[in-house]
Amino acid sequence: METLYSYSNALNVAAVCSGRFDRVMFNCSTNDNSGSKKWQRGMQFVTLGLAKRMVIHESKVASNTCWSYVSRRTVQAAASTSDICPSANFDVDKNIKEKIQGQPPLHIDQFYLPELHCCFPAKSYPELDGICEEIFLWVSQWKHFETEEERELLRQSNLPGIFGWTVPYSARRDRMLLAGKLATSVCMFDDLSDQAQQLGAEANSLRNITLHITAVLEGHDSNHDLAIPEVIALSSILRQLRANMSPRLYQRHADAMISGLLSFETQADRRATSAVPDLPTYILDRRNAFWFDSMEVIIEYCLGVELDEETLHMESMQELHKACSDYMAWTNDLISFRTEYFQGDLQNLLSVVHFDIGGNLDFQYAVNKAIRMIQTRERDFVRILHQISLSEVAARKPDLRLYLRNLPYALSGHLHWLYSSPRFHGIGHTMAESRQGIVQMDPDKTVLLSLQDQYMASKLAMDTAALIHLNS
**Is the four-CA dihedral 240, 246, 249, 255 of positive or negative sign?**
positive
Please provide the average confidence, as pLDDT, over all residues in the chain.
77
Which residues have a Cβ under 8 Å from the Cβ of 441 and sit 6 or more positions away? 108, 109, 110, 338, 341, 342
pLDDT tens digits, residue range 432-447?
888 999 999 999 999 9
Report the distance separating Cα 47 and Cα 223, nearest Å. 68
- The pLDDT assigned to 55 comes to 28
pLDDT higher than threshold 60 for residue 4: no
pLDDT higher than threshold 90 for residue 353: yes
Instruction: Say which range, 24-33, 190-199, 296-305, 333-342, has the weakest mean pLDDT.
Output: 24-33
Report the distance separating Cα 61 and Cα 59, nearest Å. 6
Instruction: Say which range, 7-11, 157-161, 381-385, has the weakest mean pLDDT.
Output: 7-11
- The pLDDT assigned to 459 comes to 59
- The pLDDT assigned to 433 comes to 83
pLDDT higher than threshold 70 for residue 78: no
- The pLDDT assigned to 270 comes to 82
- CB count, 10 Å around CB of 253? 25
pLDDT tens digits, residue range 232-249?
999 999 999 999 999 999
- The pLDDT assigned to 345 comes to 85
Find, among 274, 425, 450, 264, the residue nearest to 338 by Cα.
425
**More confidently predicted of 45 and 451:** 451
Instruction: Say which range, 61-65, 85-89, 153-157, has the weakest mean pLDDT.
Output: 61-65
- The pLDDT assigned to 462 comes to 66
Instruction: Say which range, 175-184, 202-211, 217-226, has the weakest mean pLDDT.
Output: 202-211
Find, among 314, 307, 205, 199, the residue nearest to 253 by Cα.
307
